[in-house]
Amino acid sequence: MKVSNMRRCVSKFTADWHMCFRNLNFFLVGFVGSSSVSRNFVAERSFSSHAAPKTYASSSAKLADDQTTDNSVSDMLVDSFGRLHTYLRISLTERCNLRCQYCMPSEGVELTPSPQLLSRSEIIRLGNLFVSSGVNKIRLTGGEPTIRKDIEDICLQLSSLKGLKTLAITTNGITLARKLPKLKDCGLTSLNISLDTLVPAKFEFLTRRKGLERVMESIDAAIALGYNPVKVNCVVMRGFNDDEICDFVELTREKPINVRFIEFMPFDGNVWNVKKLVPYAEVMDRVVKRFPDIKRLQDHPTETAKNFKIDGHCGSVSFITSMTEHFCAGCNRLRLLADGNFKVCLFGPSEVSLRDPIRSGADDEELREIIGAAVKRKKAAHAGMFDIAKTANRPMIHIGG
């Protein structure tokens, strides 16, 4: 009995210590993030008199939502820098019904044979493993996740996992309007729709397919079904759609849309060039000139986006600055690829297979050890912008959006 009591005491001490360490780390992340705002670009200072103060007064309350209250968060999800990973992105397929130039090489990609992709039962098993260890948000990606025939069943089973608070999807919206009512019934709580232009001819050029009207229908369908906000992801590329920035902002005037401007990122085969990159500072400068009543919102320490609200607009505007102002210090994201490989950093080439151990008979504890070891190897930050462009990495369609 004495030995048993001692083990329980040690276990409780260890769990409490990890929780305190994580909270301290998140406080420091929030402090650093807050300090960095004062060094932000000239455009942001130009409306500082209108901007909301960049503080994290309520961060602790929000962080409590990211953690289970019974100290059951697994050490598997904590890296060597104290970052707790509560957000898992699962790619359901490498296939897509568009051929976006920044996602897929012009010559196409070699797809993984179907038998080598994760089955539904394998996805659910791994989803359960992560959620039972502390993950509370899952996002389904692709390829185009809605073209997977069993997506409704996957959503239904994942949304039923105890401890999961958010089940989201990133989609190109081509088939979403038709499928969304059922997906919502199956537990889909949040969605992002990728849309990079509002001009039909540009849409066809970029995606190598027609379909702008169907995407707009999906946005309206999501609003009608009560999704709020409906997030619209726009990758800004110089000479292609940077003249539409304010047109996208106008989408937020009357509708609960969160337009998210994303800096153009390098992946294998997408012919990335720094000249195509439109930095956050430049995009913001254009927005401020047209919409001077824009105000900074308070961001969660693990947020990838800088979030803003414009007076009189129903929706909001955000900026994802992966290239010019990375957010690695607060990263809480992990990725499970369609072929079962596990990836701890979007820009890191390192991957480890979870599919192979599963099919070799590994039990959950063995899988946790593999996952935990990979998480512990995660670096403090990804390489600089130009080093990323030189680093071998898979095409985005393989990784998952």
Residue pair 188/153 in contact by the 8 Å Cβ criterion = no
- pLDDT value for 138: 98
Q: Which of 304, 300, 237, 319 is nearest to 271 (CA)?
A: 237
Count the residues in the chain: 401
- pLDDT value for 383: 54
Q: Which sign, positive or negative, has the C-alpha torsion 267, 271, 272, 277?
A: negative
Tell me: the pLDDT tens digits for 220-237? 999 999 999 999 999 999
- pLDDT value for 73: 73
* Buried b / exposed e along 327-358 (16+ C-beta atoms within 10 A): bbbbbbbbbbbbbbbbbbbbbbeebbebbebb
- pLDDT value for 144: 95
**Rounded to two decimals, what is the model's pTM?**
0.80
| CA 357 – CA 340 distance, rounded (Å) | 10
Residue 332 phi, psi dihedral angles, 5° rounding: -125, 25
Q: How far is CA 336 from CA 25, 92, 138, 161, 384, in A?
A: 25, 9, 10, 17, 24
* Buried b / exposed e along 108-127 (16+ C-beta atoms within 10 A): ebebbeeeebbeeebbbebb
Positions of the chain with pLDDT lower than 70, given as ranges = 1-72, 102-108, 266-273, 327, 382-401
* Angle (deg, nearest 10), helices 59-66 and 2-37: 130
- pLDDT value for 381: 81
What are the chain's domains?
2-399 (3.20.20.70)
- pLDDT value for 20: 44
* Buried b / exposed e along 84-93 (16+ C-beta atoms within 10 A): bbbbbbbbbb
Residue pair 305/299 in contact by the 8 Å Cβ criterion = yes
